[in-house]
Amino acid sequence: MAASPGRTRSEAARRAILEATRLELTERGYDKLSIDRIASAAGVGKQTVYRWYPSKSALVAEGVLHGHLLPVVVLPDTGDVRADVARWLGSLAGLGANSETAALIRATLAATAEDAVVAASYDEQVTAVTRSALLARLESGVAAGQVRPDAPVAVVVESLIGVVLFRLVTRREMGPEFVDDLVELVFGGIGT
Amino acid sequence: MAASPGRTRSEAARRAILEATRLELTERGYDKLSIDRIASAAGVGKQTVYRWYPSKSALVAEGVLHGHLLPVVVLPDTGDVRADVARWLGSLAGLGANSETAALIRATLAATAEDAVVAASYDEQVTAVTRSALLARLESGVAAGQVRPDAPVAVVVESLIGVVLFRLVTRREMGPEFVDDLVELVFGGIGT
Amino acid sequence: MAASPGRTRSEAARRAILEATRLELTERGYDKLSIDRIASAAGVGKQTVYRWYPSKSALVAEGVLHGHLLPVVVLPDTGDVRADVARWLGSLAGLGANSETAALIRATLAATAEDAVVAASYDEQVTAVTRSALLARLESGVAAGQVRPDAPVAVVVESLIGVVLFRLVTRREMGPEFVDDLVELVFGGIGT
Amino acid sequence: MAASPGRTRSEAARRAILEATRLELTERGYDKLSIDRIASAAGVGKQTVYRWYPSKSALVAEGVLHGHLLPVVVLPDTGDVRADVARWLGSLAGLGANSETAALIRATLAATAEDAVVAASYDEQVTAVTRSALLARLESGVAAGQVRPDAPVAVVVESLIGVVLFRLVTRREMGPEFVDDLVELVFGGIGT
DNA sequence: CAGTAACCGAGACGGTACGTCGAGTCTTACA
DNA sequence: TGTAAGACTCGACGTACCGTCTCGGTTACTG
């Protein structure tokens, strides 16, 4: 497949870099990432890292987000939209309780906050997946008569992701009551 | 007043440091903050910066959050809770439209994500103020019969701040329709 | 005696400074002298050090040289000039064998090499004493017919001090044979 | 030639460092040497200086003494030992008259006084060369019957270097009469 | 015998330099 | 040509001292 002459790029090296990056990110966070350390931990030349990823943010964007580092939380479909959303939120809350995962997400978010390219990537890769899943579920909820047809579904997605991330960033876990209240808010509103 | 011996610490120096930090944060973001640059811009010895703030995050936490950094958005009280919340959200959306302010908030959020101390400070200083203001307003809304008495008020605060920050971080402004939909969601819910 | 008003300068402080300086000089050498450390070790404010001594070199010059730090080696007078000079040189060699004293002399010499004011002070305070003593002894040697009347006495002084310091600086002790040979050289020359 | 992998160390950088060091040493002396300044003057990263020389004294020892720093003064051989030594000493006196060279030698001597490694290096590189040259010349003087066979030659070397350095350090030039007297002392002694 | 002037300790100030770490580039030998 | 290794320039780190300035608090002469 490699049409050009010379040695083919090592996929193994690329994976080692990503793995080392994940470790660094978990243990030290985004702004203490060191390419030197990653390269050395991955047993790889620094140049190889730069060949794959032109910058620290690209490494995080391409590597961390694409690299399946963030566990995917499945939104179930039991027929009861409200219960499904509640269970899904509960799982997210559980993610936050794992300190390694929480650190990884925080690091990703820091990268997002500091780099527009990462932000775009994040939006495409993470939010998009969640959004479409949630959207589909809510629409089937509409079909089942459990959600109003004119509900601002897009805003629901933003709000739920927003609140989850906000709690993660400020290191305040979401307990069961919080999740319940959040579901109550989304489905019932606060108006009289 | 100064009980201890030795020269009194220069409040002017402290303020110059904070001002220089604010500029740096606006122009370059959190992880490109350079103490060297801050000190030199503030016309201050590096040691003086470290005397006041032991670390980059403490500088951001103490100085930036406490201080004159994040503009306070007033929640009006016209008698119509829903309209008041809508106007308040609109103002927040406006803040995000100003790119300097947006950069500043993103930088602060990055600091929050990377440092637990900053996170605590952020929660105390920023969320607390907003929370109590919103809480008071919603309670007067309950008194006016515009909000149900058992509404999960705390969650409302978290959700609104969460979504605002999420949009800021991912650099997607909140347009008027988004604000409207958000208000509709909070007050009406999505259930049938 | 103190005609001027105000508190009299504390001689105790001055002495403490000199003592601390001597210690520092012995332990760390000239270029690692720290006024901060000296002041703190002497239990004295930094300003007090600067009040007495305007600079590091002045501190060494005034303090170390004047302060009787360098032991005075007496040139005996037994009637035999050559034996007396030999004994005197032997004593100097002995000084060099004491590592504290050697370090102190080396530090002083470093100060001398780096500062013209110290150099002048050194010449006046140390060389002058030795020179006049040696000169007097040699002249009484002339009177006793043990030294030629037209001997270049001044050059003898310079040579002897020079060689002693050179050996100290390059950390090569002068053994008894060296001293003997030196005496032989000075009194006998190398010519046929 | 380079057996190890990686970029070959830049000899050009090393030379630029030494040249910059020589300048600094001439202009400011040993204890005002600044690695920052040397690196910047040499157009070299500070790290590169430290890669070559682990400390200020190593820089002076390895670079300055080994190198092209101290001008070599040739001991002539005209057949008249005494005249040759006199001319050689005159040249050394001339060196001291050049203030740049004098400053450089003083700086080197200060380094020597303060660091044992430099001292060893100085002894090997400078004294050894002079010693062997002088030794050879004196021995040919012995063969010519101008120097007695049992003359303490090693001590002559030490004395001459010692006195030259001592005068340099105390900033008192050696005039022609001093040189003459010194030669007279060495060859004739002072005894009757 | 109250002022007041010079000292004292302490320690913060604006700086310069330290020696280390890391970024991103470049240059080797080898595969 | 890609790769591990590693030297390169540059810039920031956090610390140590420099010499100056400023505190509150003694002394000890002077009016």
Neighbours of A176 (CB within 10 A): 11
Sign of the CA dihedral with B83 first, then B85, B91, and B93 last = negative
d(CA D96, CA D102) in angstroms, rounded, equals 5
Residue nearest to nucleotide E25 (CA to C1'): A47
User: Would you say residue A2 has pLDDT above 50?
Assistant: no
d(CA C94, CA C100) in angstroms, rounded, equals 12
Residue reference for tokens 């040993």: D30
User: Would you say residue D165 has pLDDT above 60?
Assistant: yes
Residue reference for tokens 């900033």: D171
Average pLDDT value for residue range D50-71: 79
Residues C166, D105 contacting (CB under 8 angstroms): no
**pLDDT number for residue A6:** 56
Instruction: Give residue B96's identity as a one-letter amino acid code.
Output: G
Q: What are the pLDDT digits (tens) for A135-183? A: 999 999 999 999 999 999 889 999 999 999 999 999 999 999 999 999 9
Residue D90 dihedral angles phi and psi, to the nearest 5° = -60, -40
d(CA A180, CA A185) in angstroms, rounded, equals 9
d(CA A18, CA B67) in angstroms, rounded, equals 39
Q: What DSSP state is assigned to residue C55?
A: S
Which candidate in C114, C122, C130 is best for mutational testing of the D interface (most D CBs within 10 A)? C114
Residues D76, D138 contacting (CB under 8 angstroms): no
Q: What are the pLDDT digits (tens) for A99-109? A: 888 888 888 88
By three-state DSSP, how is residue A191 classified?
Answer: strand
Residues D32, D91 contacting (CB under 8 angstroms): no
Residues B162, A162 contacting (CB under 8 angstroms): yes
Residue nearest to nucleotide F20 (CA to C1'): C47
Q: What are the pLDDT digits (tens) for C103-147? A: 888 988 888 888 888 888 888 877 888 889 999 999 999 999 999
Q: What are the pLDDT digits (tens) for D104-124? A: 889 889 889 888 888 888 888
Judged on CB neighbours under 10 Å (0-12, 13-18, 19+), A143 is exposed
Average pLDDT value for residue range A2-12: 63
Q: Do D190 and C110 touch (CB under 8 A)?
A: no
Bases in strand F with any atom closer than 7 Å to a protein CB: 1-30
Both tokens of residue B126? 């920023």
Both tokens of residue B66? 């406490």
Q: Integer distance in angstroms from CA D35 to C1' E20?
A: 14
Residue reference for tokens 């050697």: C102
Q: What are the pLDDT digits (tens) for B119-139? A: 888 888 778 888 899 999 999
- A and C touch with 3+ CB pairs <8 Å, answer no
Which candidate in A134, A155, A180 is best for mutational testing of the B interface (most B CBs within 10 A)? A155
d(CA D17, CA D38) in angstroms, rounded, equals 7
Q: What are the pLDDT digits (tens) for A37-48? A: 999 999 999 999
Residues D38, D21 contacting (CB under 8 angstroms): yes
Task: Find all residues with CB under 8 Å of A103, minimum gap 6, and list them.
Answer: A25, A26, A27, A29
Residues C53, C62 contacting (CB under 8 angstroms): yes
**pLDDT number for residue B75:** 92
d(CA B42, CA B15) in angstroms, rounded, equals 9
d(CA C161, CA C155) in angstroms, rounded, equals 10
The shares of helix, strand and coil residues in chain A, as percent rounded to the nearest 5, are: 70, 0, 25
d(CA B88, CA B78) in angstroms, rounded, equals 12
Q: Which residues of chain D between 41 and 70 are close to nucleic strand E, CB under 7 A?
A: 45-47, 50, 55-56
Both tokens of residue D43? 């157009």
Residues D112, D122 contacting (CB under 8 angstroms): yes
Q: Do B165 and A165 touch (CB under 8 A)?
A: yes
d(CA D38, CA D31) in angstroms, rounded, equals 13
d(CA A166, CA C49) in angstroms, rounded, equals 56
